[in-house]
Structure 1
Amino acid sequence: MPEFKLPFKLYIDASGDGLGAALHQVQIINDKPVEGPICFISRQIKPTEARYGASQMQCLCLVWALEKLNYFLEGCVFEVITDCTAVKSLLNMKTANRNMLRWQIAIQEYRGNMNIVHKDGNVHKNADGLSRWPLPNDINNPAYVREEASPQIPIEGISVTDLNTTFFEEVRNSHTQDKNFSILCQLLNKDCKDYSLIHALDEVWKKSYDERRFHLLDDITYHRTKHTCVMTVVDRS
């Protein structure tokens, strides 16, 4: 059984056949630290995922594993072990790739509790085996992800707005001139929680921070709800 006060270890791996993840924990047994398994999950990749490159597949594996193992990991300290350098840099990666950017935003809620480390593949053969011989991606698999059909949405108009770098610089500068934004940026840049800063936030800001709704990308804050993630700006009114 897991001890939620102790850190977890999450081993992840992806192959051309599937995704695999092994959740471990080091517990004290007979006065000795012993690492043992808590949970194993795997699934075959979907047809739409077969087009992904190796780095994208590994990043997808992390996002999928975090979603499926959220019961164990939410609010806990844990280490992710991967043999892919792209996964290690995903939290702070500057990318124009739509999927990578979406996954980057999705894992921001674990910032401060999650440490991603790169190790050679031979240290986590557990996840490697799971990805090479995965369970079918069907409803009998607890780690199942439904294949969603692409909706046929008619496009009746397109509006394009060109935002130059000056706009983003103004947003960043405005953050430094507002108490709550300034504190928030400091908190989101830290690898651990600073409770003195958290308590300095106004109550409505503190509530959203505690719910992990704020994320920081390129020194600009974003606020996430169930279906949206929008840039936050200082109210000058």
Structure 2
Amino acid sequence: QDFSQQFLVQVDALATGLKAVLAQGSSGEERPVFFLSRKLLPWEQRYSTIEKECLAIKWALESLWYYLLGREFDLETDHQALSWINTMKDHNARVSR
């Protein structure tokens, strides 16, 4: 890793687990720095898709805090619904956290 370059965090939530990649490099030529994954707990598997995606983001950012703290970074997810999360009027408490 090169701390002078901006980081990219890519996250995804699956039916039974979460995964994340910390990468660096120019667009389209990112190089992985760190891979993360974990299995969802039984009660987390019952979360809605948007709740799982939010959980994946929270978990990835908490896990990668050492690399990201005080630095600008991009966050990439494949879940389109998250693009309007900041404009939601009634937030689900779990999603808000």
Taking structure 2 as the reference length, what is the TM-score of the superposition?
Answer: 0.87
Query: Are the structure 2 counterparts of residues 4 and 52 from structure 1 closer, same or farther at C-alpha, using a change threshold of 3 Å?
Result: same
Secondary structure of 1:47 counterpart: coil
Q: Does residue 1:50 correspond to 2:45, yes or no?
A: yes
Higher relative contact order (CA 8 A, sep 6+): 2
Q: Does residue 1:19 correspond to 2:18, yes or no?
A: yes
2:56 is matched with 61
Structure-1 separation of matches of 2:96 and 2:39: 23
Q: After superposition, what is the alpha-carbon deviation per residue over 1:7-48, rounded to whole angstroms, capped at 9, x for unaligned? A: 111111011110000110006xxxxx9421100000000112
1:40 is matched with 35
**Distance apart, 1:80 and its partner CA:** 1.0
State the percentage of identical aligned residues.
38
Secondary structure of 1:81 counterpart: strand
Letter of the 1:85 partner, please give it: Q
Which of 101, 112, 117 aligns to 2:96? It is 101
Taking structure 1 as the reference length, what is the TM-score of the superposition?
Answer: 0.38
Query: Is this contact kept in 2: 1:59–1:86, CA < 8 A?
Result: no
Q: Does residue 1:75 correspond to 2:75, yes or no?
A: no
Q: Does residue 1:5 correspond to 2:10, yes or no?
A: no
Structure 2's unaligned 5+ residue stretches are: none
Q: After superposition, what is the alpha-carbon deviation per residue over 1:144-189, rounded to whole angstroms, capped at 9, x for unaligned? A: xxxxxxxxxxxxxxxxxxxxxxxxxxxxxxxxxxxxxxxxxxxxxx
Query: Are the structure 2 counterparts of residues 60 and 24 from structure 1 closer, same or farther at C-alpha, using a change threshold of 3 Å?
Result: same
Structure with a larger share of its residues in strand? 2
RMSD after superposition? 1.8
Which of 79, 83, 88 aligns to 1:84? It is 79
